[in-house]
Structure formats: structure tokens, C-alpha cells
Structure 1
């Protein structure tokens, strides 16, 4: 990567820094409850997050668009073939900018907006009420509510949380439109808490990725700063124009030979120089069908380990673990 522009916050190097502190104020139309007291519990990244995020190597265009989303406080919509690193981008941003462990919301055809915001357990509440004794203090409704990944990302936080919304194109047709209001307003209500707000305005609820309960006032959550949202799509459907114009769109291209060599060097130190033949084989096999980059990494690691005992046909063994993904899908 050539000289880094001074305005970039996210550098794409995998080296941690506090550049998020240099992020200027948001555009006036993307300003939220900046005076709110941070309530979101910090969640440290895991060792796996640190390893994965530190070795991710995005291209220059991707880094520039990530920074555009940071400045504009807009979600990223990341498209590309399987195995191009769409999901890993969220981990890489969280790692480099020291934003803690990224939240993750996996989308299926059955997922609704409410699933991402919060879950309410009425049966547990009914059971608890049946055991209450006369004279007990007021009911703690917050005990029966757990925020979802999106709901947690919108909690007021000292630093914005990173949220991965994975494979949004698999969701219900209405989901993108349902997300529009949330993305624009940065706020949502929990009706079960709103109904009791007149006599019990404050409640403690569970966050998605923490055992710590967080306060919610009058049943309403409003973000302090817009979270870093990365939505991935395999381009299996089109999205409404109103949704697209509120996103920063990124298309991840399949890496060429030079970039593959850099990826191998980052993940398998010392093996890149002796893996040119496997990289060439990978590129040749990728043309007629789908192959993911991690298949190449698996092949290089396996052939290196197996080859230490001698008598191994490296290319033949590598081809067995670089099976074409689209053909497998057709056979299933």
C-alpha cells in the first residue's frame, strides 16, 4: 500500500492504534445523543479476533470506503464472492481501532428487525409473577429482556461498537426497509418497558454479549455515536434504492497473485516464497468456479506439514483441499 492519506482513521495495516479519537464531529444530519452517559459495557476482543483482525489485508479502495463510512456515520454494505473476506473486515476494523469484540448478527430468512433489537421472555415473567409474595417490591421487567446485537450496538458507548450484519441478502424482503428508520434515527423503543415508564421509568436489561445489565430509561435506547456497521451480501438479491443510498457500498474483488502472496505471508510466515506453484494452481482452478482464499491457506499449511516426511505430491494433495465450492453446492 502506498503512502497513507492523512485523513484516514482506519489504515488497514492490522496494527492497533487510537486513531478513532481523531475522528471529527459527524455531519449535522448524523448527530445523535452525544451528551448521553456511556452505558454500554466494554467487551474485550478474543485472541482469535486479534489474530484474525491483525492479519487482514484490505486493498486501498476498501480502506478508503471504510474511512468514508466512519466520517459519514453510515453503514457499510460489503459485497463480493465467498471467501473474499467480507465478514473479516468487521473484525479487522474493530481490532485496529481498539473497539473491542465485534457484535455479530447472522441473518436468515426467518429473522426480523425485533430479533436484532431485543428478546423478551413472557413465560419467564409469568412464572416469576406466580411466585411473588404479597408485599414484594415492584416487578423488575428488565430481567426478562435481553438486547440483540443491533440493540446492543445502539447503546450509548464511550467508543462506537462494531456490528457485523452477516448475509443480509438472505433476510426477509422487508428487512432492509425496516432497518432504514433505525439507521436514520439511531434509536428504538422496547414496548414492554414503555408501558411501565410512568411508574417505573428506569430498568436494567441484559446486553447481547455481556452478563452485565445496562440501564434503559423510559423504554427508549438512543445511541451516543453511530456504531460501525458492516453488512455483508453475496449479491443474491437487489436492495431498495432508498436503502442503498444510505449505505457506503464496497465490493471486494478476488485477490490476484501478488495479493495472495501477501495474504499467505501474513498468515503463514515463511511459507509464501515457496508457495508460488500452489498460488498459481489456485488461480487456475479459481477461474472456472468458486474457490475461497482460506482454501489456499489450508493447502499451503497442509502440504508444508505433510511434505516434511517426504514422498508427497504437493500439487496433487493441494488440489484435494481446493475443491470447487460451486460444484459442491450443486451436488448437495
Structure 2
């Protein structure tokens, strides 16, 4: 049986690519019975009924999967945040980073609309970028309008399945249009009434950019920490995870425990205050989470 990868899911059909040929497939009824939903990014075994149509017979084991957007086997996440309109939010970025780290996806922080930012705003962004780079993250400043910095993204796309994720209105579709102009993805300006962009992407689809596959994903409608336990949160902050190895007590949550190496690094300015504050806020959120039955 042939094997391929799902590159688009739309209206109950799954579009599977195998050696350049695309077959429109439906899932077998057994998937519904076993509560398996094929996802974009899945490697599958399929049976072709003819040149264009077929059925998915098996979904191969996934290395990860995201719920919103629904996609599997993601290698890299470009976390797209605007310098202005909407304003850059480290608290929201850290929320994205935690979810990406938890799913073992390599993040690249991409700050857009730099052409619209004032000198003081750019200086503030540089300070944030220094903190994230010190933690081990790549931070790239770009402008879809002037195309400044966009060429830096191509090496990160090669041979990977990537997602471009971020809140609505930050310019994900505009950026993808620069990376591959023939896409002509629809974009919308920020709604002045709501202060956020309208959703312009209606489904998840993998598209070829450079030597990789990229999903233009809808803005996340939920960023809750449903699966992450309190003891796991520290591992989703690289600098807290590293410092935590030197804590006196195993299982230290870096809150009130004595001889905590993380708190020491915060006091010394090695770990930025905003990162530690966001960690504490997320930890409290996880502790107060209502159990699911």
C-alpha cells in the first residue's frame, strides 16, 4: 500500500501527497469508531481507488500533535508577534513558548511590523530579545512591508514542517505572502473596534516554502495549560530548567523553597524578572485548574 503525508484537510476530505502526486482521500469508518481523527501533517497508509481518490487505512505514530490548530508532527513553530498593533506582549509570548516547548517543537520568535515601531519601542524590543536569546531562543525582527529581515527565515524552514502561529492581526499571512508571493493569502487589517484582527485563515494546509512545508494556522483561540502539570512547567522555561538543576531540593517549584537556584538567578538579574513572574502566574493557573472528568 502507498504511504504519504496529509497536506490539507477540508470538509471531511484529506489530501495526501506521495511523490508529488495528490490523492483526495476519506477516512475509513474505523477511525470514527476508534476516535482517531487524521490530522494535517500525519504520515498515513492509503489505498487509491483511482488517480484522484482513495481511502486512508492507517495513521502512523505521531511525534506530537496540536489541538488548536489541528496539526501533527510539527518540527518548528515560528511564533509571530508584532512590534505594535497589537503591542508586543511577553506574557502572551511566554504562554505560546510553554505550549510549544511542552510539545517538543523548536520555536523561533519572529517580531513583525518593525517598520511601524518608534525608536523607544524598538529599544524596548531589543531588551526583550536579549533576554529571550540568553534563554536560548532565536529572535528575528522582520517587516513584511519593507521585507527587511525576511531572508533570515529561510534556513529555519529547510526540511521541516513548520507552523506560523500567533494572535490574529500580527501579520502571519502577510509574512507568508512575502516568503512565497504566489500564495496571495488573504489578509485583514486590525479591527479598530475590537483591537484585534479578523480570522482570515479558514483551514490548515501545508504549503511548500523553500525546502520545507509550512502551515498557515488560524490564531489560537485557546492557550490554556490543560495537559501540563505543575512539576513539568519549569522544564518549559529553558533558563529555569537549567538553573533548577542546582536547587537544593529535588522537585523544587522555585516559589518559597530554601536555597532555590532559580530565585538566586532572578535576584542576580541572570533570569529576567518578567520571565520568572510569568512562570509564577502560569504555575498558579495550573494549580487552580479545575479537574477534568
Q: TM-score when scaled to structure 1?
A: 0.29
> Higher helix proportion, which one?
1
Q: Which has the higher contact order (CA 8 A, sep 6+)?
A: 1
TM-score norm. by structure 2 comes to: 0.32
